[in-house]
Amino acid sequence: MPAMLKLGHLVLFGFISIVSIIELAITSAQVKLYNDNGYPDTSIRDRTRLLLVASIWSVAFYLYLTFAFLLASGRVISGVLVHLIGTTIAFLLFIIGSAALQARMTGECGKSGFYRCNVERGVQIVAWIDTVFIFISWVFVVALAFKARGNGGVRRSTLVDA
């Protein structure tokens, strides 16, 4: 089981790192372009920057977790709690950014003053892909947390005392 766990961890977290790097590249290019030429409006600015922050967090955190888990598994720096906190933050950042951009982009393409619409759609698509796989990793980490805790996450003494 530990070998399968390490392989699954490496594949899932490595994939999330790659997708987050793609999101980082697209959103940073968009922010640079918009900073030079002006944003269509402030809501696009805020949502694109939020996804930029989410992708920076995910790249840094998931690369850290991938290497820490491989090099220092069993230590506090690669423990379940570290995984759970960072994955939760990444998921919240991506779900908020993806949903906000989705809500803003609905029906906007083709309207005057809105340029680079296809690139914003690409940002949106990659963000949703990242969100789904981060959620899968969150479920994976929660399942491991319950398994590590033992007995379904509940101490026996608590059940005996109840």
* Residue 78 host element (H or E): none
Average pLDDT over residues 95-123: 80
pLDDT: is 51 or 113 the higher one?
51
What does each C-alpha distance from 34 to 31, 38, 39, 104, 157 come to in angstroms? 5, 5, 5, 16, 58
Q: Which domain holds residue 86?
A: 2-161
- Within 8 A by CB and 6+ apart from 111, the residues are none
The distance between the two most distant Cα atoms of the chain, rounded to a whole number of Å, is 67
Could you tell me the pLDDT band of residue 156, with boundaries at 50, 70 and 90?
very low
Mean pLDDT of the residues in the chain? 83
**Model confidence band, residue 110 (pLDDT cutoffs 50, 70, 90):** low
Cα separation, 45 vs 39, in Å, equals 6
**Could you give the number of structural domains in the chain?**
1
Is the confidence at residue 23, as pLDDT, over 90?
yes
What does the alpha-carbon distance between residue 36 and residue 98 come to, in Å, rounded to a whole number? 24
